[in-house]
Every structure is written in structure tokens, then in C-alpha cells.
Amino acid sequence: MFAQGGLCFFCKDPIAKADASVEHLVASANGGRNDDDNCVVCCKAMNALLGSMSLKEKIQVVLNQKGHFKCPNGSQKPAAKASPAGTKPKAAKDRYGVVVSNLRQRGAAKPKTVKTLTSTIRSLFQKDITDKELSTILQQLESEGVVTIEGAKVAYA
């Protein structure tokens, strides 16, 4: 964090220690090492989004922003400029994108039950999510066709 001036590597927002995460540019799962050339600090939501993507996929995510980086924590600004702190997603509408991105990256390893999906969402936000926000996200996932919930089972489009 010190080497990056306390800023997220991707969105350049100030990042609190509690929300900081180490992102391996070449994922550990893909053989990436734990050294300064391969590790950067970013928010936990961005780390969850990028997961074990290849370096090529990660670069594509950044390039797709076309100069206006949209952080999964809710900030959107030109990628090269810093902005004030306070971009941690609090509202379900801001958190929805983080959840959808996380589910997409999971591929076949998506949660198959409502209980597991709920637990997954809570862990994305370090359990700092109200039952109402969680319910809103689940309803939005279903209403937008991302998931189908039948009883305790979850299916994906």
C-alpha cells in the first residue's frame, strides 16, 4: 500500500486497509509469484472480479473501460485521476454489479442453493450487508434473469 501511495492500483481511489486486497497480475492459480513485480493492492471487490483470470483477460477488462474505469465498488472516473474516498458500495444497486461479476467469473462453480448463494454474497462484502440489501440483490438477480430460484435450488441463465 505504501508503494502505491495508499491508492487502488486500478481506480486510483484511496483505499482503506480493511478494504485492501493483494491482486496477483498473473494469478497464483496460473503460476504467478508473490513478488512486487506481480502483486498490486486493490479493493476486495476488484480482486473478486478479476479472480484467476489470465493476464490477457485482466488487461481486456481494463481496456473495455475506454478511459473511464468503473470500479466494482461504485466509482467511475477517468482511469488516470484520483478521486476522494468513500466509494465502498453500500446500496444494493451498487453491490449488484459486484455480485454479477463474481458469479460470471465462477463459471461452473456457481452456488447451487439459495443458502450457498446468500453465503457467497455475504462473504463478498465481509458480512457488511443487511438482510434487506441481500434480499434486494437476490430479487434483482432473479428479475433480470441472471438466476432462477425454485425452492432452495438456484439455476443460472
- As beta bridge partners, residue 153 has 113, 150
Rounded Cα–Cα distance for residues 80 and 96 (Å): 25
Residue 5 belongs to a domain: no
Residue 29 lies in a domain: yes
Q: What is the pLDDT of residues 46-74, one digit of tens each?
A: 888 887 788 888 888 888 877 777 777 76
Question: How distant, in Å, are the alpha carbons of 6, 50, 51 from that of 92?
Answer: 26, 21, 22
Phi, then psi, of 3 in degrees rounded to 5: -60, -30
> What digits encode the pLDDT tens for the residues 125-155?
776 788 888 888 999 899 888 999 999 999 9
Q: How far apart are CA 72 and CA 61, in angstroms?
A: 12
Q: Are residues 97 and 152 in the same domain?
A: yes
pLDDT, greater one: 146 or 79: 146
Nearest to 103 by CA among 111, 94, 114: 111
What pLDDT shows up at residue 148?
A: 92
Q: Among candidates 101, 105, 117, which has minimal Cα distance to 149?
A: 117
CATH of the domain at 131: 1.10.10
Model pLDDT, residue 83: 31
Query: Quick one: DSSP state of residue 16?
Result: -
DSSP reduced 3-state for 42: strand
Residue 85 falls inside a structural domain: no
Contact partners, residue 6, CB within 8 Å, separation at least 6: 14, 15
**pTM to 2 decimal places:** 0.46
Does residue 7 fall inside a structural domain?
no
**Quick one: pLDDT band at residue 5, thresholds 50, 70, 90?**
confident
